[in-house]
Amino acid sequence: MPSTGRRVGMFSKIQFLLLILGLPSLIIPAFLVLLMADKRTNNHEVFLQPKPMDSKVAVTIRTSAPNIIKDLKIPVPASIPPLRRCMNTIWSEDCIDPCHKYNVLTKERQRKQIIFSCDKNKLHMRTLYTKKPKYIFKIQFKDSCLHRMTDRYCDDGKAVPNIVHYVWFGKMNFGFTHFLSFLSVFKIQKPCLILLHADNVPQGSLWKYFLQIVSNIVHVQRKQPKKIYKTKIPFIEHKADVAKLEALKEYGGIYLDTDEIILQSLDVFRNFEATVSLEQNGTVANSLIMARRNAPFIKLWIESYRTYTRADGSKHSNMVPFQLARNSKNRVHIAENLFATPNSKDLHKIYRENVDWSKNYAIHMYTRLHDHFFEEKFSLESSQTMNNTAGAIARHIIYGTKELCLQRG
């Protein structure tokens, strides 16, 4: 049967030819697809399709009917993260062991991150799932998209929106007190958004750990203000003072120093157009300021910087606002001294003694002074057995009880 043999041979030749000609047309597109896919995964902005979130973290995803705002839910951060076992990386409120061990450095999991996008008529707030432990959504300080987002998602009818602002300038490690501050915001104040006004984002394992817990934090990118009304600002503290007032003027909300810890919800003060508390007789504690957007008190405070000089000391930080508050009582509510007691003169009451802080709404930990005057470290480990105000507050925020942890062998 030679003809069959020949036919087979012919087929083979044709098949071979087809293969030679056809292969590149299969391989090249496949190669291109792979190449592009690779580029995509390297781009921070493109991730997996957002999956619907559980009801605890209600984020409404809207792609149509952009002008209907009535039925939009305000995103509520989960007060209890999903895992509830002790000895886990994720803190849990109903853990049986009140002082379970944290293992901050345990393997990172996929995290959730809120992202925004705005086009002409539509706003999108979505949840993005990422395995990049440090990824955080970034937006410019005065970006109109951020304005539209906060107007739409964070307006719950109160004068002061439930937005928490922090200012973070420079390359710094996220310390234990910072962690407590941010965790107290997440657990107690439950804000619509946490806006981190920063030139650099924090660093360190506690920062990555915090990002594992919280999804509604956004990096508001801004530079350190160099000048105020043509006067150069030489000190970073004063730059931060200006930035915090600018943040409140622009968006309204609750400004916190990164070592200010919330102990009770501040919602009771959100009906006033501005609220501060006193640090001492004659000074305002500027570590916690609440104000509605464009509040006259904040505008006056910024305006007062026309007389700022480099020898200012704490004049415009604490004294000028006290005068302003006294002269315009209807423009600002004074919450006694309930945001910063004990004050810096009584630092030993925070780090040496136990004081009753049950009436406090917040407390200022004066981290810089602590680091200067006290030798013992205030850390995740040491706070379990520190028999003082600082230890009790740390345990209250982390474990939900101020009681001393048992010493384990």
Binding interface with ligand NAG (CB under 6 A): 281, 353-354, 387, 404
In angstroms, the Cα distances linking 354 to 280, 302, 386 are 20, 37, 10
Tokens of 85: 């076992």
Question: CB of 334: closest distance to ligand NAG in angstroms?
Answer: 11
Minimum CB separation of residue 54 from ligand NAG in Å reads 40
Whose Cβ is closer to ligand NAG: residue 222's or residue 348's? 348
Least gap, CB of 346 to ligand NAG (angstroms): 14
The tokens of 181 are what?
């501050």
Cβ 405 to ligand NAG, closest distance in Å? Answer: 11
Closer residue to ligand NAG in complex, CB, 9/282: 282
What's the closest the beta carbon of residue 218 comes to ligand NAG, in angstroms? 40
Residue whose pair of structure tokens reads 């006056």 in the numeric block: 300
As a whole number of angstroms, the distance between CA 11 and CA 15 comes to: 6
CB of 384 to ligand NAG, least distance (A): 12
Residue with Cβ nearer ligand NAG (103 or 387): 387
Residue (194 or 392) nearer to ligand NAG, CB: 392
First to last CA, the chain: 89
Q: Choose between 58 and 404: whose C-beta lies nearer to ligand NAG.
A: 404
* Minimum CB distance to ligand NAG smaller for 349 or for 377: 349
Round to whole Å and give the CA distance between 301 and 286. Answer: 11
Give yes or no for a cis peptide into 77 (omega within 30° of 0): no
Q: Judged by CB, which is closer to ligand NAG: 328, or 387? A: 387
Nearest-approach distance from CB 280 to ligand NAG, in angstroms: 9
Closest CA to 206 of 187, 188, 182, 189: 182
User: How many CB atoms are located within 10 Å of the residue 269 CB?
Assistant: 22
Residue 261 makes CB contacts below 8 A (sequence gap 6+) with 177, 180, 181, 184, 362, 363, 365, 393, 397
Cα-Cα-Cα-Cα dihedral sign, residues 265, 397, 184, 44: negative
CA angle 241, 294, 143 (to 5 degrees): 80
